[in-house]
């Protein structure tokens, strides 16, 4: 699969995306502030988006881009809900530290 | 492609979407709980009815664009989901009225979620899969965290949201890789482009991500860990909805995915799924063993149940008809009993500011609140898979399927799991039979809508357990018609 | 005879009893008693009318779940009829025995009793494996309630244990059943749970052995045989009197019935070559049960262990694979039903009067309640295996049959007779004889109600003892069908 | 007339049922009438039937009542069989039985549970009659177990005393051991011969094993085991002395006259089996010999009068077994009969003594009673004479018959004979001791004789029988076994005969010198160290009880104690424990921390990745 799309081989893109994804994962794991966690989530999604676009280009189909659009919409919707929850969090727990919200165990 | 037939076939979607808009507008015009509720009910019932209309046009099944393939099976699941939504709405009314400040939007979310779930059984394409999945999930985030001034729901909502989004992105990533490898997003054409080593690698890698995300949505071990907290935190009625519709939807789409693209032809993936199922059966039951909170307990048991259900998934790969039949019957049973259980918790919690979900709260319930308690007994027995109940028929189907597919290990684990299961289900029943301090008079309080709905579910569990033939035949014929 | 009707009668009677509670407190008792008596009389009539030329007293079949070839096939032959008769009779006994014992929720109590019995009747008459399993499990739930609600101090543990043991073993049986059906399906291409059709299934020995084990485990758990017996003492001890009577009198018999009806007929070769394990387990049960019985200090527990020993005889009889042995096993089932039921009633009566089952708190009761003493003596003697009473016939035939099969095991089993004497008499000694215990409160002796039941049981035992031909005649017709008589 | 046979056992059964049904509410007199009367009636019936039988020339008569059970080729019917052997037994049971019942009506008058006593007694008579009349071995076994049950019930009659209860249980369980052997014998017999009908099986045995075989011997030995248990022979004799805990009439009827002789009857009944097997007969003889030897020594040192009689019973039955062993069939049954007379007499007389002394049984507390209790004294004297086999008593006749036939029997005849004679010497020795301690010497306790007619009448009759019973022997018993066994005339080897005759007298003489005079001081013997040791050893019945306790009883008790809460159950407790442990471990993972949850998910992803990578 060495035939490049704009000179960049597909697998390079994919490895790059995987790195992005992992960065997102690490972000979720190490950050306690909800906002940053949301950012990391976005990062993960966009990692997927990148792959879609690259793959679309690779197969010269529009599907990749279409999917990207969906992902954007999706991310927007999620953030909308998420931020609402964040507001509630700050109201009720008076903090943005996600570890504060860990009352249910067992 | 015959447009008219297509329209008829997709009538349920149209009706539901229309209803959704109507309710939304209604809320804009005038906020009235009852009106919103009744509009919702009308919509749902209309949707259910529209299936009957659409069924004529259905025939072998109709492919609407490349995204959706509507057939008998998808209709069957649609009907199941809508019914679940109706039960939810009925039972929810009292709860919403009593506990929520912004009542009307709740039904909006409910309808949206239902709509999303309807797209899943028909999805034949990554896009429709994704959309359906996310419509359900996003509405559920909101529904879980809906009640104000209580900490539990918010915590649950946050956890559910963050983890679920993470899993979604894992699914997405998986899809992307698979797409990269195969050059298509239609289930039927996902075989990797031949002759390229990387292609296979990406394909496998993609499936790893994909299945991990799916396993999360189905709350299979080791992706189960969010389940108890969300179940406990969310309002029982919402929990019921999550446990049934969202999981059911995901499972259906996965079944179709497995059937169309024979992923299990790849040994590695099949083995991974097999392992996950096996672990889930045992770990789920062990976790539930001494759990004292009913909702958490049901969460753990649902982990196990999803594990059992994987048996059907494997059968789908080889004998779709039996696999689907098994899955449908099992899910139908599972829906009824789960909704009954959470419904009971909702009903008995009426009038108390916190939910009565602890095993101490139901001490002697059988004598204090006979009807809900009896229903809970039935549904516990059903979950345990004791005859006379739908749960037994469901489990019987799984045994049959497992033996048909000669998955002896899974069948053995199924036996073991059920064995452990009996223990904690019986503890629920025993708690309810316990003699309460001071003879409490057995008088039913609360809304008759809730109680009767719960009672109906209980009766249904029994009826289907004693005479399942109608359901079984119906399912069988539809599966046949759909040409599996 | 219409078995479905009989089952229906019991089920509806249960509902009636439940709802009749609100009118009068003791009305449920009457409802239950009357319906059991009606059923018993009915059975007697059926018995007197004799079987149809097919050797069956009833044979019905209705569609149920055609998808899996499951049908409601109810058939009653000699063996079934006898056991059903025992069931209904002991049902009446159980009702009378617990007439005054349960003060709370009479209605629900009688409901459960009636439904257990309905389930048992179903078990004894089901000739469709699915249906059989269905009833097999159904009779557990009311039994569970009987123990869990009206049980004694440790009811939670006991009821749970009882349910778990029977359930888990039942699941194994379910797997075996379905597997058997699928094997049959692979060969003949039709899915069916019908008993007669499945009899024709040709299995290769390894498969047959596995499936046979599935059934076997389920049945010996119910029997119960060592080593899966430990649920029984707890369940018996904690259950209310009626519960114990039903458990010992009837539910244990379902295990034996299953062995005779299903294991040795569905898997003849496999069982034939399994005989030494079956018989061995039986012998172990006899000796270990007797030995454990002796070591108990709790009246009910002792009797419970003694019934393990007696059921051991049944196991030995069944696996001796000859007419003598199996007939002996059947007679033992009947006789044990009578004698043990009576002993559990006695335990219940004592607990009602003394509020204890500990024999260390008894002693010398004969002085206070000579009637109870005499009655207990009679049934202890019966279960010790005194000739002229039912149990002897059973055990004698079993041993006689087993002797043809294997001498050593028979000798060991025969030692059980001595052990029986040891624990039986020590029971008598510790409870009714010896120096009267000063702490024992004034207790009233048996009145007409209890005495009448006891007399019925005594007559039954003597009848079986001196003219067992009635029992034997019921079953010798079906033995060829069981394939034990060449 | 003969078809009235079924009436004989029916009367006592009826008596039993009536007494049970009335629950002791009847007045004592009525109870007594029913209790004793029922046996009396069956005695009358017995005489009628017996007379008919004797006068008729038939040698056997059988009456089928109904089919008991038919399983395949196993077919047993409840039917009665009468021949001379059975007739003798029936005579003894009903006759002596009636007398004892009569005596008991007086003896038990002041006791609790008067009617319960007679109910048990009647049941016993019924069972005993079935035992001897039973046509099939299974019916015999029914009677066999029945008498065992009644013995248990009657030994433990005064049930408020735990000691009695213990004695009763011991008796039942020990005999049960023998019974197990017996029933195994029946199984073997059925397997080999194919029937349990006595006559058929005997014929069958003769046909199958014309000249004996291992199987035949095995069966014979197993039956012998049963007989040993019932008849309290070594090694299963330990229950009999304790059985004396029962009321004295019981000891007289069950533990002297009838039940304990059931073993003798069984062997006599199955004679042909034994005739076919040298080994079996030899065993019978040896068992008898050993028992009579041990018992007679033990009797010498007992202090409880009833225990003395118990051991003497044991030894007398030993004689009978011995007789059977050496082929003196008729003599055995003859001795059975005479022994029934004089031993019943002895027991009843001692009973009167005991009653007069307010239930004092220790001979050392008696003495000098002969003038104060004349009737008991004289009857006891007669009984003792018969027991010691002094000339012109029934005991003399029967015992001589045995000893002489023994002497004639070819195998080890003289050895056997000498041992038996030595034992005979001992017999008269301890008899004298008993008589002396009880009736002579200085008075230690004041008696209150309250014996009424219904009590001394039986004594009288039995005394007469003990004397004259011997002459019955030649008339009836000669024909008892027809051609079989040893014909019944005594062609004397003078020396032997004289010795046999004189030994008892010698014993009496020595006894007199020992106990009544101070010719030699017996204290010196008994107090000397070896004397003490031997005395103690004899006193405890040669230590059989101790051995059994330490070998069987105590280990069993210990096992029962340690395993009260079923060890098997720990298996299941353990599994549940394991499940709990896993549950707790897994629950730890649910710590509610979101980022930890995320971590588990991603590690899960990693896990899947690894699985996929590996495969």
Is A101's CB within 8 Å of B158's CB? yes
Tens digits of residue pLDDT in B352-371: 878 888 888 888 888 888 89
CA distances B148 to B235, B343, B421, Å, are 11, 21, 35
Is D169's CB within 8 Å of C364's CB? no
B124-138, C66-80, D52-66, D137-151: range with lowest mean pLDDT: D52-66
Tens digits of residue pLDDT in D344-381: 999 999 998 888 888 888 888 887 888 888 888 899 99
Tens digits of residue pLDDT in D14-49: 999 999 998 888 898 999 999 999 999 999 999 999
Question: C5: number of CA atoms within 13 Å, CB side?
Answer: 9
Q: And the tokens for B380?
A: 């516990």
Tens digits of residue pLDDT in B256-279: 999 988 888 888 999 999 999 999
Give the pLDDT of residue D494.
65
Give the pLDDT of residue D467.
86
- Subunits next to B (3 or more Cβ pairs <8 Å) are A, C, D
Partner-chain residue, chosen from C393, C417, C472, that has the shortest CB–CB distance to D70 = C472
Is D563's CB within 8 Å of C230's CB? no
Kindly report the backbone phi and psi dihedral angles of residue D206, in degrees, each rounded to the nearest multiple of 5, phi listed first: -60, -40
Give the pLDDT of residue D144.
94
Are B41 and B95 in contact by the 8 Å Cβ rule? The answer is no
Distance of residue D68 Cα from the nearest chain C Cα, in angstroms? 6
Residue with tokens 């007419």: C323
Distance of residue B347 Cα from the nearest chain D Cα, in angstroms? 27
Give the pLDDT of residue D487.
43
**Chain D residues touching chain A at CB-CB below 8 Å:** 587, 590-595, 598-599, 602
Across the range A81-100, mean pLDDT stands at 89
Give me the residues of chain C with pLDDT under 50, please.
486
Per-residue b or e along C134-155, where b marks 16 or more CB atoms closer than 10 Å to that residue's CB? bbbbbbbbbbbbbbbbbbeeeb
Tens digits of residue pLDDT in D269-294: 998 888 888 889 889 999 999 998 89
Tens digits of residue pLDDT in D202-245: 888 888 888 778 888 999 999 999 999 999 998 898 999 999 98
Partner-chain residue, chosen from B215, B283, B420, that has the shortest CB–CB distance to D586 = B283
C77/C125 Cα distance (integer angstroms): 8
Across the range B155-163, mean pLDDT stands at 93
Q: And the tokens for C325?
A: 């042995």
On the question of pLDDT at D497 being above 80, the answer is no
Give A48 or A104, the one with higher predicted confidence.
A48
Residues in chain D: 615
What residue segments make up the domains of chain D, in order of their start? 1-270, 277-520, 565-614
Is D593's CB within 8 Å of A99's CB? yes
Q: What is the ipTM of this complex?
A: 0.90
Task: Give the DSSP letter string of C334-402.
Answer: HHHHHHHHHHHHHHHHHHHHHS--BGGG---HHHH-HHHHHHHHHHHHHHHT-TTSHHHHHHHHHHHHH
Comparing CA positions, the residue from C229, C276, C2, C239 lying closest to residue C97 is C239
- How many CB atoms are closer than 10 A to CB D284? 29
Tens digits of residue pLDDT in B217-255: 999 989 999 999 999 999 999 999 999 999 999 999 999
Across the range D182-187, mean pLDDT stands at 94
Give the pLDDT of residue D473.
62
Is B423's CB within 8 Å of C164's CB? yes
Q: And the tokens for B291?
A: 């759990």
For the CA atoms of B295, B301, B306, B312, the dihedral, rounded to the nearest 10 degrees, stands at -140
On the question of pLDDT at D436 being above 60, the answer is yes
Tens digits of residue pLDDT in D585-610: 999 989 888 999 999 999 999 999 99
Q: Which residues of A touch B166 (CB under 8 A)?
A: 25, 28, 41, 44
Is B173's CB within 8 Å of A51's CB? yes
Are C115 and C15 in contact by the 8 Å Cβ rule? The answer is no
CA of D601: which chain A residue's CA is closest? A25
Are D403 and D500 in contact by the 8 Å Cβ rule? The answer is yes
Which sign does the torsion angle of CA D293, D297, D300, D305 carry?
negative
Question: Given the DSSP bridges, would you call strands B62-64 and D60-71 parallel, antiparallel or unpaired?
Answer: unpaired
Q: And the tokens for B67?
A: 């995204």
Is D595's CB within 8 Å of A98's CB? yes
Are D65 and D13 in contact by the 8 Å Cβ rule? The answer is no
Question: Given the DSSP bridges, would you call strands C70-77 and C56-65 parallel, antiparallel or unpaired?
Answer: antiparallel
Q: And the tokens for D457?
A: 């009448």
Average pLDDT value over all residues in chain D: 87
Helix segments in B183-224, DSSP class H: 197-217
CA of D600: which chain A residue's CA is closest? A29
Comparing CA positions, the residue from B52, B53, B54 lying closest to residue B64 is B54
On the question of pLDDT at D105 being above 80, the answer is yes
Is B163's CB within 8 Å of D601's CB? yes
Give the pLDDT of residue D479.
54
Taking the Cβ of residue B408 and every Cβ of chain C, the question of whether any pair is shorter than 8 Å is answered with no
Q: And the tokens for B133?
A: 């999945």
* Residue D189: its H or E element: helix D162-193
Give C242 or D475, the one with higher predicted confidence.
C242
Give the pLDDT of residue D2.
78
Taking the Cβ of residue B291 and every Cβ of chain A, the question of whether any pair is shorter than 8 Å is answered with yes
Is C141's CB within 8 Å of B381's CB? yes
CA distances C371 to C444, C445, D13, D120, Å, are 10, 6, 20, 15
- Subunits next to C (3 or more Cβ pairs <8 Å) are B, D
Give the pLDDT of residue D485.
41
Confidence category of residue A4, pLDDT binned at 50, 70, 90: very low
Tens digits of residue pLDDT in D134-164: 999 999 999 999 999 999 999 999 888 889 9
Q: And the tokens for D51?
A: 């007379």
DSSP annotation of D367 reads -
CA of B420: which chain D residue's CA is closest? D579
For the CA atoms of D190, D192, D193, D196, the dihedral, rounded to the nearest 10 degrees, stands at -10
Give the pLDDT of residue D504.
85
Kindly report the backbone phi and psi dihedral angles of residue C176, in degrees, each rounded to the nearest multiple of 5, phi listed first: -60, -45
Tens digits of residue pLDDT in B408-427: 999 999 999 999 999 999 99
What residue segments make up the domains of chain A, in order of their start? 10-96
CATH class of A10-96: mainly alpha
Distance of residue A98 Cα from the nearest chain D Cα, in angstroms? 7
Is B290's CB within 8 Å of D580's CB? yes
B330/B390 Cα distance (integer angstroms): 9
């Amino acid at each position: 699969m060495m035939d490049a799309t704009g000179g960049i081989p597909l697998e390079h893109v994919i490895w790059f995306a995987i790195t992005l994804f992992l960065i997102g994962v690490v972000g979720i794991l190490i950050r306690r502030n909800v906002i940053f966690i949301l950012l990391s989530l976005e990062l993960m999604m966009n990692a997927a988006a990148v792959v879609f676009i690259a793959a679309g280009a690779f197969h010269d189909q529009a599907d990749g881009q279409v999917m990207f659009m969906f992902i954007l919409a999706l991310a927007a919707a999620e953030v909308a809900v998420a931020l609402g929850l964040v507001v509630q969090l700050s109201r009720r727990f008076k903090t943005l530290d996600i570890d504060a919200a860990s009352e249910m165990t067992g | 492609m015959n447009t008219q037939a297509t329209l008829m076939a997709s009538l349920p979607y149209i009706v539901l979407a229309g209803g959704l808009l109507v309710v939304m507008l209604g809320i804009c015009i005038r906020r009235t709980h009852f009106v919103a509720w009744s509009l919702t009910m009308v919509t749902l019932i209309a949707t259910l009815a529209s299936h009957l209309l659409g069924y004529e046009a259905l025939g072998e099944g109709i492919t609407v664009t490349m995204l959706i393939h509507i057939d008998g099976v998808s209709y069957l699941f649609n009907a199941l989901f809508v019914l679940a939504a109706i039960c939810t709405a009925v039972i929810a009314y009292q709860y919403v009225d009593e506990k929520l400040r912004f009542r009307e939007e709740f039904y909006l979310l409910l309808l949206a979620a239902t709509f999303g779930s309807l797209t899943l059984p028909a999805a034949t394409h990554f896009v429709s899969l994704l959309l359906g999945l996310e419509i359900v999930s996003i509405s559920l985030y909101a529904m879980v965290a809906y009640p104000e001034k209580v900490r539990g729901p918010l915590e649950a909502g946050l956890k559910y949201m963050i983890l679920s989004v993470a899993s979604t992105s894992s699914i997405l990533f998986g899809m992307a890789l698979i797409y990269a490898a195969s050059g298509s997003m239609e289930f039927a054409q996902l075989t990797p482009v031949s002759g390229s080593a990387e292609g296979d690698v990406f394909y496998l890698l993609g499936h790893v991500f994909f299945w991990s995300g799916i396993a999360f949505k189905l709350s299979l071990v080791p992706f189960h860990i969010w389940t108890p907290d969300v179940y406990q935190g969310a309002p029982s009625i919402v929990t019921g909805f999550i446990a049934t519709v969202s999981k059911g939807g995901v499972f259906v789409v996965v079944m179709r995915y497995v059937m169309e693209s024979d992923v299990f032809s790849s040994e590695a993936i099949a083995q991974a799924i097999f392992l996950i199922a096996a672990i889930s059966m045992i770990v789920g039951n062990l976790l539930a063993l001494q759990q004292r909170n009913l909702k958490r307990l049901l969460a753990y048991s649902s982990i196990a149940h999803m594990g059992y259900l994987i048996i059907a998934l494997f059968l789908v790969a080889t004998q779709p008809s039996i696999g689907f039949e098994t899955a449908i019957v099992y899910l139908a049973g599972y829906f009824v009993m789960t909704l009954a259980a959470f419904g009971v918790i909702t009903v008995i919690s009426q009038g108390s500011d916190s939910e009565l979900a602890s095993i101490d709260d139901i001490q002697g319930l059988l004598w204090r609140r006979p009807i809900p308690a009896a229903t809970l007994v039935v549904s516990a027995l059903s979950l345990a898979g004791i005859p006379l109940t739908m749960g037994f028929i469901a489990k019987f189907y799984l045994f049959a399927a497992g033996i048909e597919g000669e998955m002896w290990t899974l069948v053995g684990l199924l036996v073991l799991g059920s064995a452990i299961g009996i223990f904690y289900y019986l503890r629920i029943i025993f708690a309810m039979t316990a003699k309460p301090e001071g003879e409490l008079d057995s008088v039913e309080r609360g809304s008759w809508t809730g109680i009767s709905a719960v009672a109906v579910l209980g009766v249904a569990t029994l009826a289907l357990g004693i005479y399942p033939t109608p359901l079984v035949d119906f399912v069988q014929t539809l599966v046949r018609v759909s040409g599996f | 005879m219409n078995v479905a009707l009989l089952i229906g009668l019991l089920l509806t009677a249960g509902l009636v009893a439940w709802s009749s509670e609100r009118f009068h407190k003791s009305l449920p008792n009457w409802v239950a008693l009357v319906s059991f008596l009606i059923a018993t009389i009915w059975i007697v009539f059926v018995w007197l009318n004799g079987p149809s030329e097919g050797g069956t007293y009833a044979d019905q079949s209705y569609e149920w779940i055609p998808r899996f070839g499951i049908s409601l096939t109810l058939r009653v032959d000699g063996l079934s009829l006898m056991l059903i008769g025992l069931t209904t009779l002991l049902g009446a006994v159980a009702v009378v025995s617990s007439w005054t014992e349960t003060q709370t929720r009479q209605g629900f109590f009688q409901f459960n009793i009636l439904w257990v019995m309905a389930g048992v009747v179903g078990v004894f008459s089901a000739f469709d494996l699915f249906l059989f399993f269905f009833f097999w499990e159904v009779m557990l739930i009311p039994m569970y309630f009987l123990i869990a609600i009206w049980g004694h101090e440790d009811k939670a543990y006991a009821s749970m244990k009882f349910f778990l043991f029977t359930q888990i073993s039942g699941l194994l049986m379910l797997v075996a059943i379905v597997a058997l059906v699928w094997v049959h399906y692979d060969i003949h291409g039709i899915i069916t749970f019908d008993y007669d059709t499945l009899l024709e299934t040709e299995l290769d020995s390894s498969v047959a052995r596995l499936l046979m084990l599935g059934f076997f485990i389920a049945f010996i758990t119910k029997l119960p045989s060592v080593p899966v017996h430990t649920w029984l003492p707890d369940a018996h001890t904690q259950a209310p009197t009626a519960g114990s009577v039903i458990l010992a009198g009837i539910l244990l018999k379902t295990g034996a019935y299953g062995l005779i009806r299903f294991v040795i007929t569905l898997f003849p070769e496999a069982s034939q070559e399994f005989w030494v394990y079956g018989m061995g387990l039986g012998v172990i049960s006899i000796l270990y049960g007797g030995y454990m019985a002796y070591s108990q200090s709790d009246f009910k527990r002792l009797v419970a262990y003694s019934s393990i020993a007696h059921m051991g005889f049944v196991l030995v009889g069944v696996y001796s694979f000859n007419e003598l042995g199996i007939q002996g096993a059947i007679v033992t089932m009947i006789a044990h039903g009578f004698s043990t039921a009576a002993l559990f009633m006695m335990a219940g009566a004592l607990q009602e009067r003394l509020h204890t089952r500990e024999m260390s708190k008894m002693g010398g009761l004969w002085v206070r309640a000579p009637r109870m003493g005499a009655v207990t003596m009679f049934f202890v003697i019966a279960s010790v295996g005194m000739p002229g009473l039912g149990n002897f016939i059973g055990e004698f035939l079993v041993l006689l049959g087993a002797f043809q099969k294997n001498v050593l095991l028979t000798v060991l089993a025969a030692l059980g007779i001595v052990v029986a004497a040891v624990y039986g008499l020590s029971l008598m000694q510790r409870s009714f004889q010896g120096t009267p215990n000063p702490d024992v409160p004034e207790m009233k002796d048996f009145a007409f109600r209890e005495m009448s039941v006891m007399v019925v049981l005594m007559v039954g035992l003597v009848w079986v003892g001196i003219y067992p031909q009635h029992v034997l005649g019921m079953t010798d017709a079906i033995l060829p069908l069981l394939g034990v008589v060449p | 007339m003969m078809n009235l046979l079924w009436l004989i056992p029916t009367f006592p059964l009826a008596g039993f049922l009536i007494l049970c049904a009335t629950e002791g509410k009847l007045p004592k007199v009525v109870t007594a009438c029913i209790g004793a009367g029922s046996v009396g009636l069956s005695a009358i019936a017995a005489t009628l039937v017996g007379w008919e039988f004797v006068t008729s020339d038939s040698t056997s008569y059988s009456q089928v009542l109904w089919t008991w059970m038919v399983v395949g080729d196993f077919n047993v019917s409840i039917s009665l069989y009468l021949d001379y052997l059975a007739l003798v037994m029936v005579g003894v049971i009903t006759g002596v039985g009636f007398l004892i019942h009569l005596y008991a009506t007086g003896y038990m008058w002041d006791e609790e549970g008067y009617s319960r006593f007679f109910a048990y007694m009647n049941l016993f008579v019924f069972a005993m009659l079935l035992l001897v009349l039973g046509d099939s071995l299974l019916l015999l076994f029914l009677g066999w177990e029945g008498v065992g049950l009644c013995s248990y019930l009657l030994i433990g009659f005064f049930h408020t005393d735990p000691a009695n209860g213990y004695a009763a249980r011991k008796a039942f369980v020990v005999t049960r051991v023998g019974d197990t052997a017996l029933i195994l014998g029946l199984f073997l017999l059925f397997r080999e011969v194919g029937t349990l009908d006595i006559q058929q099986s005997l014929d069958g045995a003769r046909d199958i094993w014309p000249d004996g075989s291992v199987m035949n011997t095995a069966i014979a030995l197993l039956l012998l085991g049963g007989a040993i248990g019932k008849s309290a022979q070594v090694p299963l004799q330990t229950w009999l002395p304790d059985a004396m805990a029962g009321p004295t009439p019981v000891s007289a009827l069950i533990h002297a006259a009838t039940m304990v002789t059931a073993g003798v009857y069984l062997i006599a009944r199955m004679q042909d089996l034994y005739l076919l097997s040298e080994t079996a007969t030899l065993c019978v003889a040896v068992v008898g010999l050993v028992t009579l030897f041990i018992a007679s020594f033990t009797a010498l040192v007992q202090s409880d009068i009833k225990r003395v009689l118990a051991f003497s019973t044991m030894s007398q039955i030993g004689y009978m077994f011995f007789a059977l062993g050496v082929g003196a069939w008729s003599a055995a049954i003859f001795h059975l009969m005479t022994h029934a007379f004089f031993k019943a007499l002895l027991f009843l007389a001692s009973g009167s003594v005991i009653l007069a002394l307010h239930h004092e049984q220790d001979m050392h507390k008696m003495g000098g009673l002969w003038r104060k209790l004349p009737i008991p004294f004289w009857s006891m004297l007669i009984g003792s004479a018969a027991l010691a086999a002094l000339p012109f008593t029934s005991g003399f006749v029967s015992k001589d018959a045995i000893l002489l036939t023994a002497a004639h029997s070819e195998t080890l005849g003289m050895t056997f004979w000498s041992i038996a004679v030595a034992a005979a010497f001992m017999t008269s020795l301890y008899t004298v001791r008993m008589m002396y301690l009880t009736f002579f010497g200085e008075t230690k306790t004041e008696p209150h004789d309250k014996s009424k007619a219904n009590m001394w009448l039986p004594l009288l009759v039995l005394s007469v029988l003990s004397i004259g019973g011997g002459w019955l022997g030649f008339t009836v018993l000669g024909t008892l076994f027809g051609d079989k066994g040893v014909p019944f005339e005594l062609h004397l080897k003078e020396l032997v005969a004289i010795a046999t005759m004189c030994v008892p007298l010698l014993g009496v003489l020595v006894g007199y010198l020992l106990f009544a005079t101070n010719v030699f001081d017996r204290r010196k013997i008994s107090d000397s160290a070896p004397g003490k040791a031997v005395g103690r050893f004899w006193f405890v019945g040669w230590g059989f009880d101790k051995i059994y306790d330490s070998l069987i009883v105590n280990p069993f008790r210990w096992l029962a104690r340690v395993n009260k809460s079923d060890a098997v159950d720990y298996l299941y407790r353990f599994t549940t424990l394991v499940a709990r442990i896993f549950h707790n471990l897994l629950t730890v993972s649910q710590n509610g921390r979101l980022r930890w949850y995320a971590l588990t998910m991603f590690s899960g992803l990693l896990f899947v990745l690894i699985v996929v990578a590996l495969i």
